[in-house]
Structure 1
């Protein structure tokens, strides 16, 4: 069993809850309120800007040139995806980029991005990789799980196809292969630290979709 497979086994229950969440299941049966998806998409655009900053830090800490190239490209693509995918959504909803950027981050978005950036600044490469891996891997798994069902809502179908695409799959597979290579040189204690970050970030992935479904407000 590869190290990445061991990691995913640790989040089996979290991933099952993600697939069962009404936000995710509502994408395929069309029951998800479009207001909830719009809230999520705006928050995701804000998230990806911070995720991109973290990927740049990950690239700077990379022990090999190919990994640095991979994450520098990913940092750029996080913004490109935001502009292409979310931009097409926002145009349909009559939202300008200025309106999106002026939107406050929801509580769970602040929690998730703050965690990722703290890890990216403070921890060694292998731990940062473990923290950033769920955003790649879980979205790919969700995309693959949903694409066979499709969606009656064009915007939802576009979202599903993006994360089930061969292009996204190739990127995720490269990150997974890197994780497994890096793990070969880690001690048991170092692997445990990677696993802890991987599990924590996976929890935040669940919380992010729940944030969208609830259109999470600030209570104070």
Structure 2
């Protein structure tokens, strides 16, 4: 079995729960409270800064030059998304990126990024790729799913279009091809660890949307 097939099979129930989440339903029908979307944007700005660091570690550990360049480009792209797209959303809320950056990193964001960074530094290259993969792949699948529906809210429609866009989809296909190449080279034990990391960070993706929906804060 191709590694990507095994990975997706492991998280199909998680993905079904993601698609069913009221945050995504509210994006497409336009009923998502703006405060929930703002929560998501602010925490995603924090997340993407550390995700870029995780991708940079993947670049440093990649054995082939093409993969070094690709992950380095993706790290730069993650920061560009944080600065550009999130900046536009924050402007719509009458706020600045500086104001958002001053807000605290909340529990789910911190847990997710801490797990990512620990895995990319402490695991193998294949494990690192598996850990960062859900942020590529799940967003691509969600983007495809939501693009057909879009949203009556222009702000939400813009977010949906970003991840349904063919340019983003092609980047994801490149990472999936790499994942399958790695799957042919790694040991059964390393493969099991890769599946475990992929499953964990996929669950964090659901938790990230859920945290925004709930308006998560630090309890004390």
TM-score (norm 1): 0.98
Do residues 128 (structure 1) and 128 (structure 2) align?
yes
Match of 1:51 in 2: 51
Match of 2:7 in 1: 7
**What displacement does 1:188 show?**
1.1
CA RMSD of aligned residues (A): 0.7
Provide the rounded CA distance (Å) in 2 between the counterparts of 1:213 and 1:69. Answer: 36
Do residues 187 (structure 1) and 187 (structure 2) align?
yes
Provide the rounded CA distance (Å) in 1 between the counterparts of 2:95 and 2:118. Answer: 31
Provide the rounded CA distance (Å) in 1 between the counterparts of 2:2 and 2:25. Answer: 30
**What displacement does 1:2 show?**
2.1
Do residues 118 (structure 1) and 113 (structure 2) align?
no
Match of 1:174 in 2: 174
Match of 1:159 in 2: 159
Match of 2:61 in 1: 61
Describe the SS at the equivalent of 1:95.
Answer: coil
TM-score (norm 2): 0.98
Matches for 1:23-38 after TM superposition, within 5 Å: 23-38=23-38
Provide the rounded CA distance (Å) in 1 between the counterparts of 2:66 and 2:182. Answer: 13
Matches for 1:79-90 after TM superposition, within 5 Å: 79-90=79-90
Runs of 4+ in structure 1 over 6 Å off: none
Structure 2 contact 2–183 (Cα < 8 Å) conserved? no
Provide the rounded CA distance (Å) in 2 between the counterparts of 1:110 and 1:83. Answer: 20
Provide the rounded CA distance (Å) in 2 between the counterparts of 1:38 and 1:84. Answer: 15
**What displacement does 1:163 show?**
0.2
User: Which stretch shows the higher mean deviation, 192-201 or 85-94?
Assistant: 85-94
Provide the rounded CA distance (Å) in 2 between the counterparts of 1:42 and 1:2. Answer: 36
Structure 1: state its 5+ residue gaps. Answer: none
Provide the rounded CA distance (Å) in 2 between the counterparts of 1:77 and 1:62. Answer: 18
Count of aligned pairs: 220
Provide the rounded CA distance (Å) in 1 between the counterparts of 2:106 and 2:23. Answer: 16
Do residues 219 (structure 1) and 180 (structure 2) align?
no
Provide the rounded CA distance (Å) in 1 between the counterparts of 2:123 and 2:133. Answer: 15
